[in-house]
């Protein structure tokens, strides 16, 4: 049993997948009225299972990895709070459908927190550098997490059924891309945490294939997308700082292109089953140059 | 009167001794470690860069030691593994570039000694005891400088310092051997 539990494939693939599936079943059974909003719990649960199996859930010592895990588990909840706050304000204070107010509360504030979390994670490195040397790094990592946060929270706001598969697949492939690139630059823990997100999203997406779950195909919702986007953004950005060798920065813009490619088949392909196959394949195209860059920096994986 | 005090001081000198100060010789000071790898074998590695200082009062049997180890200088003979050991999975060399040992109590007994001190890895400080053997102080045959050297050894669990990745597959217990030479200031 111990051999199974300590195997990386169990820790970062099987365990989060099973936990995510069980949590989707629990959410859809007990709160079918709210199920789509709470699907993010399946991703958080899957991610938490991998954390418990790899590093354990400890606060001390406060390392960059602990900060990353803490941010990944807490920030997504903020999206739920902000959406609740927006609905409250929209009903009482904001005039009608305030687009600016909605953007500020439900997208800008969570993304600002995500950026702050990334700065907190790299703070020990910043403290040792002159500002003139540090600002390009700060700009790169905060720019990446802000972009990923905004893209996926923005995607989460799209309600059209045909767009939902692209949402889910984007985050699934972003997890795979982040995991593979981190593995190549010798941060197996970062890779495992990224693969855990992919496995959790995979479990969730699998459940959306079953009509009795009453979830639209590929639907992850804002909370779920942010629950997955937060750790993946932080892992990718932090790998450019803490991985040895560093993940090349240009791998990150490649990963950012994943949602754009995932979008294309929603327009061109009408058959849903073909869409399920084609969408991940297309979304994976930007991952290839990212893998190549990471391979050049880190070389082949060894055990 | 001044002459009397000076004479007394000179006479007492051999009895009390002097706490001599030394600077660690980085070319002859290497912390070596051993750790179990997946139950198959014992992996050996070393840190290539160290610095620090040493004070020894052989007559009183006391002293102090401070050793600073450059984490990025880890070498197990395979670059990819060294990169992994420098990564956040293990030592996180970017965030925590140093391992530091600062003695809190030194008891020298002839050629052997016990050094109790604080070992700080990844920001976590734990008390460990170095068992020291083969203490030898003398004049270096080539440089003609006063040199002291010894071998020290200790054991600790890496999980106590928050390094929990790949437990228990990669062993928890780390055996640390330090071969040290220091040159008198």
Q: Please report whether residue B69 resides in a domain.
A: yes
- Convert the pLDDT of each residue in A231-284 to its tens digit: 999 999 999 999 988 899 999 999 999 988 777 656 566 676 777 788 888 889
The residues of chain B scoring below 50 in pLDDT are 9-17
> What confidence score (pLDDT) does residue B12 get?
46
Q: Is B91 on the interface with A (CB under 8 A)?
A: no
DSSP bridge partners of B118: B102, B127
Q: Please report whether residue B8 resides in a domain.
A: no
Q: What is the DSSP letter of B25?
A: -
Name residue, tokens 């079953």. Answer: A210
B70, B44 in Cβ contact below 8 A? Answer: no
Instruction: Tell me the residue range of the domain where B110 lies.
Output: 16-184
For residue A61, the distance in angstroms to the closest alpha carbon of chain B comes to: 6
Q: Please report whether residue B6 resides in a domain.
A: no
- Convert the pLDDT of each residue in A47-75 to its tens digit: 999 999 998 888 778 899 999 999 999 99
Q: Please report whether residue B174 resides in a domain.
A: yes
Q: Is residue B71 classed as helix, strand or coil in its secondary structure?
A: helix
What CATH number is associated with residue B116? Answer: 2.40.128.110
**Which residues does chain A have within 8 Å of residue B172's beta carbon, measured at their own beta carbons?**
none
pLDDT at A93 over 90: no
pLDDT at A176 over 90: yes
Q: Higher-confidence residue: A45 or A98?
A: A45
Among the partner-chain residues A189, A300, A302, the one whose CB lies closest to the CB of B89 is A189
Please answer yes or no on whether B84 and A188 come within 8 Å at the CB atom: yes
Interface of A with B in 125-154 (CB under 8 A): 125
Among the partner-chain residues B78, B81, B169, the one whose CB lies closest to the CB of A6 is B169
Please answer yes or no on whether B86 and A244 come within 8 Å at the CB atom: yes
Integer Cα distance of B27 and B35 in angstroms: 24
Neighbouring residues of A85: CB distance < 8 A, sequence distance ≥ 6: A105
For B37, nearest residue in chain A (alpha carbons)? A303
**Strand B20-24 and strand B146-157: pairing?**
unpaired
Please answer yes or no on whether B167 and A6 come within 8 Å at the CB atom: yes
Q: Higher-confidence residue: A143 or A226?
A: A143
Among the partner-chain residues A54, A58, A125, the one whose CB lies closest to the CB of B165 is A54
φ and ψ at residue A279, rounded to 5 degrees: -60, -50
Q: How many domains does chain B have?
A: 1
- Convert the pLDDT of each residue in A68-83 to its tens digit: 999 999 998 888 888 7
**Which residues does chain B have within 8 Å of residue A245's beta carbon, measured at their own beta carbons?**
83
Name residue, tokens 């597959």. Answer: B169
Among the partner-chain residues B122, B166, B168, the one whose CB lies closest to the CB of A63 is B122
Integer Cα distance of A275 and A278 in angstroms: 5
Q: Please report whether residue B99 resides in a domain.
A: yes
Q: Is residue B75 classed as helix, strand or coil in its secondary structure?
A: strand
Name the average pLDDT for chain A.
Answer: 86
For residue A7, the distance in angstroms to the closest alpha carbon of chain B comes to: 9
pTM for the structure as a whole? 0.88
Query: HEC string of chain A?
Result: CHHHHCCHHHHHHHHHHHHHHHHHHHHHHHCCCCCCHHHHHHHHHHHHHHHHHHCCCCCCCCCHHHHHHHHHHHHHHHHHHHHHHHHHHHHHCCCCCCHHHHHHHHHHHHHHHHHHHHHHHHHHHHHCCCHHHHHHHHHHHHHHHHHHHHHHHHHHCCCCHHHHHHHHHHHHHHHHHHHHHHHHCCCHHHHHHHHHHHHHHHHHHHHHCCHHHCCCCCCCHHHHHHHHHHHHHHHHHHHHHHCCCCCCCCHHHHHHCHHHHHHHHHHHCCCHHHHHHHHHHHHCCCHHHHHHHHHHHHCCCCC
- Assign A289 a pLDDT band (cuts: 50, 70, 90): very high
Secondary structure element (H or E) that encloses residue B53, with its range: strand B50-57
> What confidence score (pLDDT) does residue A294 get?
94
DSSP bridge partners of B53: B23, B66
> What confidence score (pLDDT) does residue A298 get?
83
**Which residues does chain B have within 8 Å of residue A187's beta carbon, measured at their own beta carbons?**
84, 87-89
A78, A113 in Cβ contact below 8 A? Answer: yes
Q: Please report whether residue B172 resides in a domain.
A: yes
Integer Cα distance of B36 and A203 in angstroms: 36
Please answer yes or no on whether B84 and A244 come within 8 Å at the CB atom: yes
Q: CA separation (Å) from B108 to A84, A127, B38, B60, B63?
A: 67, 40, 38, 8, 8
Q: Please report whether residue B90 resides in a domain.
A: yes
> What confidence score (pLDDT) does residue A269 get?
67
pLDDT at A200 over 90: yes
Q: Is B98 on the interface with A (CB under 8 A)?
A: no
Q: CA separation (Å) from A171 to A82, A176, A200, A205, A209?
A: 21, 9, 10, 11, 17
Q: Please report whether residue B3 resides in a domain.
A: no
């Amino acid at each position: 049993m111990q051999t199974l539990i300590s195997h990386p494939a169990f820790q970062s693939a099987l365990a989060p997948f099973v936990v995510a599936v069980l949590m989707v079943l629990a959410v859809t059974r007990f709160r079918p009225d709210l199920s789509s909003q709470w699907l993010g719990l399946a991703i958080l649960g899957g991610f938490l299972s991998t954390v418990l199996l790899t590093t354990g859930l400890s606060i001390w010592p406060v390392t960059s990895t602990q900060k990353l895990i803490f941010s990944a588990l807490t920030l997504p909840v903020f999206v739920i709070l902000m959406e609740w706050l927006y609905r409250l304000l929209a009903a009482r204070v904001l005039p009608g459908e305030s687009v600016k107010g909605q953007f500020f509360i439900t997208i800008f504030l969570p993304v600002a927190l995500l950026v702050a979390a990334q700065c907190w994670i790299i703070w020990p490195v910043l403290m040792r550098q002159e500002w003139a040397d540090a600002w390009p790094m700060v700009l790169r990592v905060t720019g990446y997490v802000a972009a990923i946060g905004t893209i996926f929270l923005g995607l989460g706001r799209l309600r059209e059924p045909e767009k939902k598969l692209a949402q889910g697949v984007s985050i699934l492939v972003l997890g795979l891309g982040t995991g593979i690139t981190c593995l190549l630059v010798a941060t197996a823990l970062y890779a495992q945490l990224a693969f855990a997100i992919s496995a959790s999203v995979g479990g969730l997406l699998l459940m959306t294939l079953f009509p009795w779950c009453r979830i639209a195909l590929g639907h992850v919702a804002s909370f779920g997308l942010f629950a997955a986007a937060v750790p993946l953004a932080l892992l990718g950005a932090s790998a450019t700082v803490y991985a040895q060798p560093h993940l090349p920065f240009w791998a990150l813009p490649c990963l950012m292109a994943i949602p754009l490619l995932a979008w294309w088949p929603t327009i061109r392909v009408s058959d849903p089953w073909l869409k399920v196959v084609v969408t991940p394949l297309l979304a994976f195209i930007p991952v290839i140059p990212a893998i190549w860059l990471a391979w050049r920096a880190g070389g082949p994986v060894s055990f | 009167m001044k002459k009397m005090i000076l004479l007394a001081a000179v006479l007492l000198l051999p009895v009390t001794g002097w706490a001599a100060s030394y600077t660690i010789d980085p070319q002859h000071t290497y912390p070596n470690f051993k750790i179990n790898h997946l139950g198959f074998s014992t992996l050996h590695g070393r840190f290539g860069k160290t610095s620090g200082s040493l004070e020894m009062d052989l007559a009183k049997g006391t002293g102090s030691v401070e050793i600073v180890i450059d984490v990025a200088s880890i070498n197990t003979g395979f670059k990819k593994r060294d990169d992994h050991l420098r990564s956040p999975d293990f030592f996180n060399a970017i965030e925590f570039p140093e391992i530091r040992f600062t003695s809190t109590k030194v008891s020298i007994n002839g050629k052997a000694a016990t050094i109790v001190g604080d070992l700080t890895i990844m920001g976590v400080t734990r008390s460990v005891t170095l068992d020291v053997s083969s203490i030898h102080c003398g004049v270096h045959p080539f440089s003609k400088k006063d040199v002291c050297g010894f071998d020290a050894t200790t054991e600790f669990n890496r999980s106590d310092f928050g390094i929990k990745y790949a437990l228990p597959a990669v062993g928890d217990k780390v055996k640390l051997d330090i071969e040290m030479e220091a040159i008198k200031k």
